[in-house]
Each structure stands twice: as C-alpha cells, then as structure tokens.
Amino acid sequence: MKYLIISGSNRKESGSRKVSNYVQSVLENSEVFDLHEKDIPLWTENMWNDESNQSQSWRKHAEKLRETDGFIFVVPEWGGMISAPMANFLQHLSFKEMAHKPVLLVGVSSGRGGTYPIAQMRAFSFKNNSLIYIPDHVIVRDVNNVLSDIKVNENNKSDMFIRERLIRSIDILRHYTNHLSLLRQDMSLSVDDYPFGM
C-alpha cells in the first residue's frame, strides 16, 4: 500500500511539515506532499477545461494521488480555519483520484487549538471527491514543543503522548486502507450519471 502525507501549509519549515516528517518516519511506503513545495495554482473554472494550462499542470499531481491507497492530511489551524493552501488543494480533488480512499486527519496548532480545522474538513471537504475520513483523528497542539526529534523525549509527557496517539491512529489507517482497497475492486467507480455529491 502507498501512502501520501499532505503537509497543508505553504510556509517553509512549518509545524505541519515537522509533523509530516514524523509521520513519514513511522509509516512505511509513505511520501510527504508539501504544499509549500508544490506549484498548485489557485483553483478557477479553467480546471474544467482539459486543455487549459491549469488543468494540465494539475495532471502530474492527480496521477500521484490516483496511485496512492491511503492519505494523511496534516492541516494547520490559521485563524480558526484550515489554511488557504489546503482549501485550494481540496478544490482540485476529484472522484477519479480520491473516491473511497481513507484519510487520517491530523490537526496542527502552535497553541491549544486545532479542533476547528478537523470539524471543517469533516463537514465540507468530501462532497465532490468521495474520500473517506476514518473515525480517528489526531490534534498536535503546542507543535513547536513536540516531535522536534525522531527520538522520543521521555522528559516531555506531551511529546510521548502525541507520538503514541499518532502511531495508534496510523495503525488504524493501515487497516482501513487494506479493506477499502478490496472494496474499490468490488464496486463500480463510474461517475457518468452523478459526477458530483448532493
């Protein structure tokens, strides 16, 4: 199984990237897809035109998503909401890349927040792509003081706690990934009749 970790910040050396790097270190066959490093233009209606530069530039990313079996979305909280780069990324996703594939949500906050992006993602970001958020999620609070090294800081209870939660939730994601892979083989993914969610 292949996994893609979406680091949802466009800041260099962001807290989201730090969390993503840790997840990659404990999840085999995974790769970080950092929105800071990717050239994803602002979504416009040109995406509906297969010949447009915007649509063509997205294709290389779409192909990687199609080849991926499971996802971790690492979502920073900006002003109580998901980041603008993450919202733009979600606009680009379609049924063809994401349908019936499991996603583990990981919220990130430099303070004690991180809850609102999880709620926003669960409520509004699956309509036209049919991705599946697993029941588990993780919120990495006080991100500047945890996951600062690959090795656990045994003197930092918060660091130990968040690592254990991430490892547990990643293990649950693995099970969903295996089972949903079988489900996708057993069902038709045609969207000719109903290409968009209701």
Here the CATH number for the domain that contains residue 137 is 3.40.50.360
191 lies in some domain: no
Q: What is the pLDDT of residue 149?
A: 77
Quick: pLDDT tens for 110-159. 999 999 999 999 998 988 899 999 999 999 999 999 998 766 667 788 99
C-alpha–C-alpha distance, residues 55 and 62, integer Å: 10
Indicate whether 86 belongs to any domain.
yes
Q: Is residue 194 part of a domain?
A: no
Q: How far apart are CA 101 and CA 17, in angstroms?
A: 22
- Tokens found for residue 121: 């993602």
The structure tokens listed for 18 are 């730090």
Backbone angles phi, psi at 129, to 5 degrees: -125, -15
The pLDDT assigned to 48 comes to 84
Domain that holds residue 144: 3-186
Taking only the tens place, the pLDDT of each residue in 42-97 is 999 888 888 888 888 899 999 999 999 999 999 999 989 999 999 999 999 998 89
d(CA 152, CA 20): 16
pLDDT band at 170 (very low <50, low <70, confident <90, very high): very high
Q: Is the pLDDT of residue 190 over 70?
A: no
Tell me if 192 is assigned to some domain.
Answer: no
Q: How many domains, in total, are found in the chain?
A: 1
In this structure, is residue 36 part of a structural domain? Answer: yes
Residue 196 inside a domain? The answer is no
Q: 30-34 and 70-78: which strand pairing?
A: unpaired
Which tokens go with 191? 């969207």
Residue 90 resides in a domain: yes
Q: For residue 198, is it within any domain?
A: no
The pTM (predicted TM-score) of the whole model is 0.94
Question: Which residue has better confidence, 24 or 150?
Answer: 24
Distance between CA atoms of residues 76 and 19, nearest Å: 10
Per-residue confidence (pLDDT) for residue 191, from 0 to 100: 65
